[in-house]
């Protein structure tokens, strides 16, 4: 089953502002006498495309894994055998390496009480924490929190 992850108003706003700013910079580079302008424009374009390609768009539970679906990049695979539990995620996080608000917030993050984790968020509210037996914890924001939580819990291996 696929659980969509849509952008909240904050992430949509950041995406719009950054997008407009980048279009302005690219326009200035295209029409102004800036040395090395095509290299700079290419770099900005590549960053924009990579941010969009790797942005999360949904979660899929299939077989024995959770897949974090991305716009154009390959999905991230999380084996259910490594998931210990699912619980409400941290309210406040700090992004260490990744993207913050531009097509979502994703990458390596840290939060009090959780430590380092991989985040795949499209909203500031409704975060879920996947605790794991191996690998970093993962924070996700499916639109259907209850449905995703119930399906993950039903698929987790039972302790003997």
Q: Work out how many domains the chain is built from and give that number.
A: 1
Pair 10, 101: CB distance under 8 Å: yes
User: What is the model's pLDDT at position 3?
Assistant: 96
pLDDT in tens, 33-66: 778 778 888 888 888 889 899 999 999 999 899 9
Map tokens 């998931």 to a residue.
83
User: What is the model's pLDDT at position 43?
Assistant: 85
pLDDT in tens, 135-157: 999 999 999 999 999 999 999 87
How far is C-alpha 43 from the chain's CA centre? 22
CA distances from 21 to 15, 27, 48, 50, 95 (A): 10, 10, 12, 17, 22
User: What is the model's pLDDT at position 160?
Assistant: 38
CA distances from 51 to 23, 36, 39, 79 (A): 15, 23, 18, 25
Which is nearest to 11 in space by CA: 82, 106, 86?
106
pLDDT in tens, 103-142: 888 999 999 999 999 999 999 889 999 999 999 999 999 9
Range of the domain at 6: 1-160
Pair 107, 95: CB distance under 8 Å: yes
Pair 51, 103: CB distance under 8 Å: yes
Residue 129, Cβ neighbours under 10 Å: how many? 20
Pair 126, 145: CB distance under 8 Å: yes
Average pLDDT of the residues of the chain? 89
Q: What is the C-alpha to C-alpha distance for residues 26 and 11, in angstroms, rounded to an integer?
A: 22
Using the CB atoms, write b or e for 41-57: b if 16+ within 10 Å: beeeeeebeebbebbbb
């Amino acid at each position: 089953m696929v659980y969509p992850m849509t952008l909240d108003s904050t992430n949509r706003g950041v995406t719009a502002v950054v997008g407009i700013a980048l279009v302005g910079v690219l326009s200035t580079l295209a029409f102004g006498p800036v040395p090395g302008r095509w290299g700079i424009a290419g770099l900005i374009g590549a960053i924009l495309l990579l941010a969009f390609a790797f942005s999360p768009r949904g979660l899929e539970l299939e077989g024995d894994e959770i897949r974090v679906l991305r716009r154009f990049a390959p999905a991230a695979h999380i084996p259910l055998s490594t998931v210990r539990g699912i619980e409400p995620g941290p309210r406040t996080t700090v992004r260490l390496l990744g993207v913050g608000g531009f097509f979502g917030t994703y990458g390596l993050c840290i939060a009090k009480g959780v430590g380092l984790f991989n985040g795949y968020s499209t909203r500031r509210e409704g975060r879920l924490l996947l605790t794991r037996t191996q690998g970093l914890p993962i924070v996700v924001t499916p639109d259907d929190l209850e449905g995703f939580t119930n399906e993950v819990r039903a698929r987790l291996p039972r302790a003997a």
